[in-house]
Amino acid sequence: MSTPLTTTTVRILFEGQELEVPAGISVAAAVAGYAHPGHTCKHPVDGSGRAPFCFMGVCFECLMEINGLPDVQSCLVTVEEGMQVRRQPLPESIKL
């Protein structure tokens, strides 16, 4: 059983860095596996660095900005050619 998972790749940008990743995987998997980002968002209360944890839509630790839209659960979005991905913007900008 050595069939490769994918035969094609797509290119996405993470914080301006070009990544060539397998087509069909999630943005969270692509960033975690190919960009080694350290953190992808910061905890709004204590400021600690956070990164994708559950990869299945439950933990909300993988929030990132995708194509300009913040607060996206990156584990639920499939990579697309040319996608622009950034770390989740810091919460100071939130007006409550």
Q: How far is the CB of 33 from other proteins (least distance, A)?
A: 24
Q: How far is the CB of 40 from other proteins (least distance, A)?
A: 14
Residues that bind other proteins (CB under 8 A): 43-45, 60, 63, 71, 91-92, 94-96
Using the minimum distance from each CB to other proteins, give the nearer residue, 19 or 40. Answer: 40
Q: Count CA within 13 A, CB hemisphere, residue 63.
A: 15
Q: How far is the CB of 92 from other proteins (least distance, A)?
A: 8
Residues 6+ apart with CB under 8 A from 6: 22, 23, 24, 25
66's enclosing H/E stretch is strand 63-66
Burial (CB < 10 A; 0-12, 13-18, 19+), residue 15, is middle
Using the minimum distance from each CB to other proteins, give the nearer residue, 34 or 60. Answer: 60
Using the minimum distance from each CB to other proteins, give the nearer residue, 1 or 45. Answer: 45
